[in-house]
Amino acid sequence: QTDDGMLFIAMEYLEGQPLSLVLKTEKILPVRRMLHIVGQVCASLSEAHRRGVVHRDLKPDNIFLCQVEDNPDFVNVLDFGVAKVITDENLSAPGTLTQAGSIFGTPPYMAPEQWAGDRGDPRSDVYSLGCLLYQLLSGDVPFRGTQREVQRLHEEEQPQPLRNRVSGIPDDIARCVEQAMAKDPGQRFDDGNVFALALRQAVQA
């Protein structure tokens, strides 16, 4: 608040572009560039997860790329507007993380449990990141259709295997994407750090 009573918010100025804009001109990213970007997203999510925060709306619009020194793809994860803080208290109290009947997220990237209105946890963000990684490697989101159709597909169907959509995807990376997008949260990577480690190992394999 200024001395004369005017209210203001000071925010970091970011000079760059969202990943969504990059994908309009570069449909498929090279594996190395993908790993560089996704690894930073994983690190950002892991920091949030350690603090008990789940993003719940991870998508290309919310990944902002800046030029920082010699890094043209320095990642900022934006818009925690629908994020929730998980505490011991609200984990044991159904309905405190998400109001009954409320659904948060962006359809092409939403985990099955988000469609059901269940409280999310770090594995929900891992699912969304798996959908994003699928898009970066194939040039398209895993599922398309009306919102109802996309919901059913996320809840019930497996996406077309990456190796059937684009050639040259290493098998280990394809398996990482499949695990991240498992319908059962218990079969996914536990958080962003575990996902990033698996991707690095897949690239080095």
Q: For the range 98-106, what are the long-range contacts, defined as Cβ-Cβ under 8 Å and sequence gap of 24 or more?
A: 104/56, 104/57, 105/56, 105/57, 106/57, 106/59
57 is catalytic: yes
Select from 5, 75, 67, 2 the least CA-distant residue to 37.
75
Instruction: Please pick, among 57, 121, 125, 191, the residue that the annotation labels catalytic.
Output: 57
Looking at the DSSP bridge assignments, the partners of residue 68 are: 71
Residue positions annotated with a catalytic role: 57
